[in-house]
Amino acid sequence: MALSRPGFSVYLTIGFPEPARFPQALEALEACVDFYELGLPTARPKYDGPTVRASHRRVVARGLRGLEALRLLERTSVGKPFTLMAYMEDYAGSLRGLMEAAASAGAGCVLLPDLAFDYPGELDRYVEESERAGLRPCFFASSRFPHAWLQRYAALDPLYIYLGLQPATGVELPIAVEKNVRLARRLVGDRYLLTGFAIRHPEAAAALIRAGADAVVVGSAVLRALEEGGVEEARGLACSIHRAVHSAARGAA
């Protein structure tokens, strides 16, 4: 699986806003994304912000969680590359099964945002099980990560390194995000740098591309648009950010 540079990704919790409507959401967004990040529903999305947490609760309340969600993907035509997001807490005892299921579903990698925070000793096992299943690893880092961790990630040939720009998804604080992107770029070299958290509008996404990010992922804003305005509103938002990302990259070339 190769990711385009520049790239624009949308995060969706699998099964949101309703399992029956999820395929429609994917289809509506397809023309305006380069790849998807799809979350496996969990009862404890501990490092997500309020909007993403609510999407997990809603899907789980309807009886869909964990690897069961991949059966919904099997019945859905996913027209763009995708990666999965899950929590190591849910799969620490079944990591091999997670990776095998992800590979069978067609994912490029499985992002575990709690891996470095709560399970740092499992990093090597995660890489081994990813590679055993034919996947590449991908890693989450916050702007407060030690520089050595980012450099370690870069040495492990990841599909991408996801730099979280804020403390949680959808929660915006006065942080110098563009400065952090430039620093991360120096640390990871030419590795694929994906940026996200609290990106709500095209101008913010374009600024991150100009600062050195390869791609931007938007989740909370798209989930809110789906909830409040339906697929057309979500598509309009996604398309506007997609255009801004690609325009910014052309301007920086």
What residues are labeled active site?
37, 48
Question: CA–CA distance from 216 to each of 7, 11, 85, 124 (Å)?
Answer: 7, 10, 15, 27
Given CA atoms 250, 232, 196, 107 in this order, what sign does their dihedral have?
A: negative
Residue given tokens 């101008």 in the structure block: 203
Calpha distance 140→223 (Å, rounded)? 21
Question: Do you know the residue count of the chain?
Answer: 253
Q: Does a cis peptide bond (omega within 30 degrees of 0) precede residue 6? A: yes
The candidate with the shortest Cα–Cα distance to 126, out of 108, 139, 107, 117, is 139
Read off the DSSP letter of residue 114.
Answer: T
Spatial contact of 81 and 36, defined as CB atoms under 8 Å apart: yes
